[in-house]
Amino acid sequence: MTVLSFHDVTYTYPGAERPSLQHVSFELAAGEFCLLAGLSGHGKSTLLRAACGLAPHFHGGRFAGRVQLAGLDTREHGPARLGTLAGALFQDPESQLVMSSVRAELALALESRGHGDAVVARGVEEVALALGVDHLLERSVHTLSGGEQQRVALGAALAGRPPVLLLDEPTSQLDPVAGDELIGLLRRLNQEWDVTIVLAEHRLERCLPAADRVLALGDGRLAHDGTPSQFLEWAAQAAPPLLTPGAQLFSLVGLAPPPVGVKQARAALRARCLLSSEPVSSAPPPVVRHVNMGNRRQGAPSLDAPPGSAELSAPPAGGVLARDLAAASPRSAASRMRRWAFRGSGAGAPALQMRGVWHELRDGPAILRGAELRLRPGESVALMGRNGAGKSTLLRHAAGLLAPTRGRIERAGRVALLLQTPGDYFVHERACREVSPAALARAGLAELADRNPRDLSGGERQRLALAIVTDGDEPAVLALDEPTRGMDRHAKAVLARELRERAARGQAVIVATHDPEFACACAERAVLLADGRAIADGPIAELLAGGWYFATATARILGGAEGALTPEQGAAVLARRAADRGQAERPPEDGGRAAEDGEGMASAAAAMASAAAAGLPAGGTRR
C-alpha cells in the first residue's frame, strides 16, 4: 500500500529564482525505511516539507504536481490535518519543543486533536516508555540536553501514532552515541510498529544499514532511487561525495559490491581472507592513555585528498606510553598522564595551556573538573566526547568567554573562537561590512561582498564567520565548536583543508567535533573528554582506531588494524595484506612486486586487483 507519493512535483520558494524540487516522482510503500541522500541545498529538506504540507501551505511559493500522503492530497489538506498522518522531526530540537514541560509537550498533539483525558494520559505514557523518556516527564524542556530534547521532540511527533515519520538530519546535533541510539530507535519503530520512515541525513554510513531504500537528490531532481547497495554502486560512478567511507574503502581496493554497513564489510573482507575470522574485539574499548604525541604531522590525511596523496600513520600497536603505563599503577599512570598533558606535545612555549581548570556552577554541577590541556603552535587537536562532556565550556574558557572557578589558563596570543552557529556573527546586511576586504578576499568571498550574509549557503556562512573571528592580527589559537553541523562531505573537506593550512602557518587549531571522519581529516591529536576532564589524549590514529563509538567507519571495519582511520589508509592496509597473502600463495617474483606496491595509496587498488586476479576467493569483483 502506498503511503506517500510524489507525482511530478516542482516547487519554488517565494522569491527564489530556481525551484528547490524539480519534477520529483516516487512512491513509498507502508513500512519502508527510506533514506534521502544529497548534498546541502539539493532539496532534501524541501521534499520533507512538501510531504507534510508545509510547502506550500506554510512557506508559500509556487507548487506544481501532486503529493499524496496516505491518500490525502497535500494541496487540499493543510499541515494540521496532514500532521495526524505524518510526524515530523527537524534539525533543531529546541524550535520543536513548544510547551514548557516534557509531559505537556507529549500531550499537546493528542489534546490538539481532541482526544479525551484517558487517551491523552495513555498516549503520553506509552510514547514516553517507547522512547525511554519516562524519567524526563516532569522536567522542563529548557533543562534537557540536546539528545534528550531530540528524543522528546521525536516523542511529540510520534504521540499521535502517525503512520509516517519524516526526519530532517535529526542526528546532526547529537554525539555518536546519541546518534546511533536514535537510528536504532527509528529502526525499532520501523520494524516493530511498521512506521514508514523518511530520513534525510548527511552521514549515510550511520543510516544505510537500517534503510530499505535510498532516494538521492541532485539539484532538486531525483537522481537515484534504489536499494542501499544499488545506491552505493550508483554513487561510486555518479556522486562520489555521497559514498560512505566503507564504500570508498572497497572502491579503492577494487572490491564489489560496496558494503552497506560495517557488518557486511567485515563479512566481505573475511570471505576474502583480508580480515581475521576472530571477533574484532571482545574486550571493552581501550582507553588510550597515550598523552604525549611527539612532533608529528603525518597523521592528518584529508577527506578530499586524491588517492595516494595521504601519508599513512601507523603507530605501534599499543603505543609506547600505553606499554609504559600498563606497567605502572593506576595512580602513578594518572599522575604521569597529567604531567604529559602539561608538557603537551613537545618543547617550546605553548600556544595555550590550561592547568587544572574547573568550572563549577552555583547550585549546579561542575562542568569542568580539573581539565588539563596544552597546545603548541601549529598543532591541531580534535576535542571529542559526548554531549554535555564539557567541550564547549572548555573552548569558551580557552577564548576567555568564561573565567575558571579554579585553575589557570595561559595564552600565547589571541584565541579566536568560532561558535556553533555562524549566523550569530552576522549583524550587518552586507558581507563586506562584517569583515575587512582583505579577510573577505582570503575567505574567497570577495565576489559575494554585497550579499546579505544570511542569504549565503551553509559553507559560505561558515567561511564568513571564520573570517570574522580571525580578521585582524593572526590568532595564536583557533578554536572551533562543532563547525560541521549540517555540512555535507564536500563542505567538510573544504573546511578541513582550511584548518590544515592554518596549522601549517603555525596556528594551534582545536576543534570540538562529534564527527570522527572530520576529526581525522583535520587533526593530528585527539582529546576525549568525559565528565569535565580528559580521559584520553593522544595521536588521533590511536584514539579513533581503538574506540567503539569514537571511531571512524574504516576503523570499525578493520577493527582498528594498524591505526587505519581513512579509506585511503584502510586500502593501504588491505593492499599490504593482499600482497602478503599473494606472496604466500604465488611464485616469489609476483609476491615481491605486490609487497612493494602495497606501500603507496595509489598502488593499493592495483595490488588488490592483482592479488584478486591471482587467486582471491570468488566474489571479489574487480572494478
Partner 1 sequence: MNRALSLLYRPLPSPLHATRAGVAALWGLALMVAALLLYHPLALTALALALLGAGWAAGVGRALGSSLRMAAIWAIPIVAINVLVSREGLTVFARLGDLGPFGQGDLTVEALVYGAVIALKITVLVLITALCSLCIDPDALLRICRRLSFRAALTASLAVRMIPLLAADTQRIADAQRTRHGGLPEGRTAAGARARVALIGAVLAGSLDRAMDVAATLELRGFATAPRAPRLQRPWSRHDLAFAASAAAIVAFALLARLGGAAAFSAYPLVHAPLTPVLLVLCAALAFAILLPFADRRGVER
Give me the least distance between CB of 269 and partner 1, in Å please: 44
Give me the least distance between CB of 461 and partner 1, in Å please: 12
Residue number with CB closer to partner 1 (392 or 603): 392
Residue number with CB closer to partner 1 (473 or 589): 473
Residue number with CB closer to partner 1 (194 or 429): 429
- What track of x and - describes contact with partner 1 for positions 435 through 464 (by CB under 8 A)? -------------------x----------
SS3 content of the chain, % helix, strand, coil (to 5): 40, 20, 40
Q: How far apart are CA 511 and CA 483, in angstroms?
A: 8
Give me the least distance between CB of 352 and partner 1, in Å please: 15
In contact, 582 and 610? CB cutoff 8 Å = yes
In contact, 345 and 377? CB cutoff 8 Å = no
Residue number with CB closer to partner 1 (48 or 183): 48
The answer to whether residue 65 forms part of the interface with partner 1 (CB under 8 A) is: no
Q: How far apart are CA 102 and CA 100, in angstroms?
A: 7
Q: How far apart are CA 175 and CA 270, in angstroms?
A: 30
- Bond from prior residue into 93 cis (ω within 30 degrees of 0): no
Q: Which stretch binds partner 1 (CB under 8 A): 29-37, 200-208, 425-433, 570-578?
A: 425-433
The C-alpha cell that represents 319 in the structure block: 603505543
The answer to whether residue 380 forms part of the interface with partner 1 (CB under 8 A) is: no
The answer to whether residue 393 forms part of the interface with partner 1 (CB under 8 A) is: no
- For residues 573-592, which are near partner 1 according to CB under 8 A? none
In contact, 571 and 252? CB cutoff 8 Å = yes
Residue number with CB closer to partner 1 (103 or 369): 103
- For residues 66-125, which are near partner 1 according to CB under 8 A? 78-84, 87-88, 90, 92, 94-101, 103-104, 108-109, 111-117, 120
The answer to whether residue 593 forms part of the interface with partner 1 (CB under 8 A) is: no
Q: How many residues bind partner 1 (CB under 8 A)?
A: 66
The answer to whether residue 204 forms part of the interface with partner 1 (CB under 8 A) is: no
Tell me how far CA of residue 421 lies from CA of 23, 415, 425, 474, 480, in angstroms.
Answer: 33, 18, 8, 22, 11
Q: Which of 276, 295, 298, 421 binds partner 1 (CB under 8 A)?
A: 421
The answer to whether residue 281 forms part of the interface with partner 1 (CB under 8 A) is: no
Residue number with CB closer to partner 1 (417 or 445): 417
- Cα 366 to chain centroid distance, Å, stands at 27
Q: Are strands 86-89 and 21-29 parallel, antiparallel or unpaired?
A: unpaired
DSSP state letter for 11: E
The answer to whether residue 139 forms part of the interface with partner 1 (CB under 8 A) is: yes
Q: How far apart are CA 94 and CA 342, in angstroms?
A: 38
Give me the least distance between CB of 141 and partner 1, in Å please: 8
Q: What are the backbone dihedrals phi and psi of residue 586, each rounded to the nearest 5 degrees, phi first?
A: -110, 170
The answer to whether residue 499 forms part of the interface with partner 1 (CB under 8 A) is: no
Within a 13 Å sphere around the CA of 519, how many CA atoms are in the beta-carbon half?
Answer: 31
The answer to whether residue 413 forms part of the interface with partner 1 (CB under 8 A) is: no
DSSP string, 473-489: SPPSEEEEESTTTT--H
Q: Which of 25, 143, 281, 295 binds partner 1 (CB under 8 A)?
A: 143
Residue number with CB closer to partner 1 (131 or 419): 419
Q: What are the backbone dihedrals phi and psi of residue 344, each rounded to the nearest 5 degrees, phi first?
A: 65, -140
| Residue 529 burial (C-beta neighbours within 10 Å; 0-12, 13-18, 19+) | buried
Q: How far apart are CA 265 and CA 249, in angstroms?
A: 9
Give me the least distance between CB of 252 and partner 1, in Å please: 40
Residue number with CB closer to partner 1 (474 or 596): 474
Q: Which stretch binds partner 1 (CB under 8 A): 49-57, 207-215, 380-388, 547-555?
A: 49-57
- How many residues in the chain? 623
Residue number with CB closer to partner 1 (511 or 579): 511
Q: Which residues lie across from 34 on neighbouring strands?
A: 198, 213
Q: How far apart are CA 155 and CA 93, in angstroms?
A: 11
Short-list 509, 511, 508, 454, CA closest to 483 = 511
- What track of x and - describes contact with partner 1 for positions 338 through 367 (by CB under 8 A)? -------------------------x----
Q: Which stretch binds partner 1 (CB under 8 A): 135-143, 183-191, 236-244, 254-262?
A: 135-143
Give me the least distance between CB of 179 and partner 1, in Å please: 21
Q: How far apart are CA 387 and CA 2, in angstroms?
A: 38
The answer to whether residue 52 forms part of the interface with partner 1 (CB under 8 A) is: yes
In contact, 385 and 526? CB cutoff 8 Å = no
- For residues 468-487, which are near partner 1 according to CB under 8 A? 468-473
- For residues 162-181, which are near partner 1 according to CB under 8 A? none
Interface contacts to partner 1, rule CB under 8 A: 52, 54, 57-58, 78-84, 87-88, 90, 92, 94-101, 103-104, 108-109, 111-117, 120, 138-140, 142-143, 156-157, 160, 363, 396, 399, 401, 414, 416-419, 421, 423-428, 454, 468-473
